Amino acid sequence: MSNKIFKSKTILAGLNAKTVKGDDVYVTAIMYLAPAAQSLMGNVCPMAVMAGCEMGCLSKAGRAGIFSSIVNSRIAKTQRYFADRAAFMAELHRDIAAFVRWCAKHGVKPAVRLNGTSDIQWEVAHPVAGFKSIFEAFPEVQFYDYTKVYKRAYRSLPANYSLTLSYSEANPAYADAVLTAARETGSNIAVVYRTKALRNAEVTKSTGRFVHREVIDGDETDMRFLDPRRVVIGLYAKGPAKRDTSGFVVG
């Protein structure tokens, strides 16, 4: 499947080296928006400052960190979202429907990450096509995301939407809130380590900050909805994140 690409105005699949690792059964389509306030029309990452993740944002890694056309496309897409949310949601609905058909044609199951480079609370105030949410509109699709908005972990989320909390030590209050939310809800935590070696050293161990939680290799696959519960997802820093000193990257 890695040589096949689905592309639309809002989502794309088959280009992300990590997501294609899980495509024996699932293929993930991801939506990439202009992170934080880059669109100049609103902020799609409300916790970016508190969590210290803007400098090491993955939007600056890979091809997006090289080609200005990709950045401009993401800005334009995000501006469409802020200018007319209803029209944007209708566009997203059409694109996901097309992706579902594409997956059926290729004999795989559809998975969708709406927050590839954003942290929008899609479960709230995002109706579409007569449904309360995009998740309700596509019960056959497995949706999943990483989030720094830790209050989302306390919500009763749709059965087909999986959230993984994203950790950062840039702000002690934020770090404590994430750990508390994870402990009280059983949610998994994604942690970005500075190097593969550091990440690998923590795999299978319960560390001081994540006591009683196994650290698993999160770079083997992006299919977070398949992870066991109450674990730490160990990732290693990529792109500008390798130089991050805010606390977003551990180690």
| pLDDT at residue 64 in the model | 47
The pLDDT of residue 66 is 47
Residue 137 within a domain = yes
Residue 62 has a pLDDT of 47
Is there a domain that residue 95 lies in? Answer: yes
CA distance 11 to 29: 6
Give Cα separations from 231 to 151, 160, 190, 212, 234 (angstroms).
19, 20, 9, 9, 9
- Where is average pLDDT lowest: 58-62, 74-78, 193-197, 227-231? 58-62
Residue-wise pLDDT for 128-141, tens only, equals: 999 999 999 999 99
Total count of domains within the chain: 1
Residue 1 lies in a domain: no
Question: Is residue 248 over pLDDT 90?
Answer: no
Q: Is residue 39 part of a domain?
A: yes
Specify whether the CB–CB gap between 104 and 18 falls below 8 A: no
Mean pLDDT of 81-93: 98
Structural domain that includes position 227? 6-250
Asked whether residue 149 is assigned to any structural domain, the reply reads yes
